[in-house]
Amino acid sequence: RRSDHTDMLHGESVADPYRWMEEIDAPETRRWVEAQSALTRRTLDALPERDALLHRLKQVWDYDKHGTPQRVAGRLFYARRSGLQNQSVHFWREEKPDAQEHRLLDANALSADGT
């Protein structure tokens, strides 16, 4: 559905017909999300090339990701995620070339499935 909601921003009236969807716990929003999820699932499950597509996506996503180091008080803080890990692992080390790396937080270890 579309609503007649508008916002006044810097003296300009801006239509926001889907503002109602920002109420994520509202029954109407939940019904809409569930219906869209069901439609998406049916559509994806019906694709004859679905398995090949999933296989290719896993190949494409399977690479090491490195966050930008942040320098704080003589230490470097950074995140790294290898392959298909769900979450990045956070590390720190002294700002010296031969400094030992210390694991700060591995969110993958906080639940059995790493989410």
**pLDDT tier at 114, thresholds 50, 70, 90:** confident
Tens-digit pLDDT profile for residues 4-43: 999 999 999 999 999 999 999 999 999 999 999 999 999 9
Classify residue 81 as exposed, middle or buried by CB count within 10 Å of its CB (0-12, 13-18, 19+). middle
pLDDT of amino acid 84: 85
For the record, the structure tokens of 18 come out as 């889907």
pLDDT of amino acid 115: 82
pTM recorded for the entire structure: 0.57
Q: Cα 113 vs. chain centroid, distance in angstroms? A: 16
Tens-digit pLDDT profile for residues 51-103: 999 999 999 999 999 999 999 999 999 999 998 899 999 999 999 999 999 99
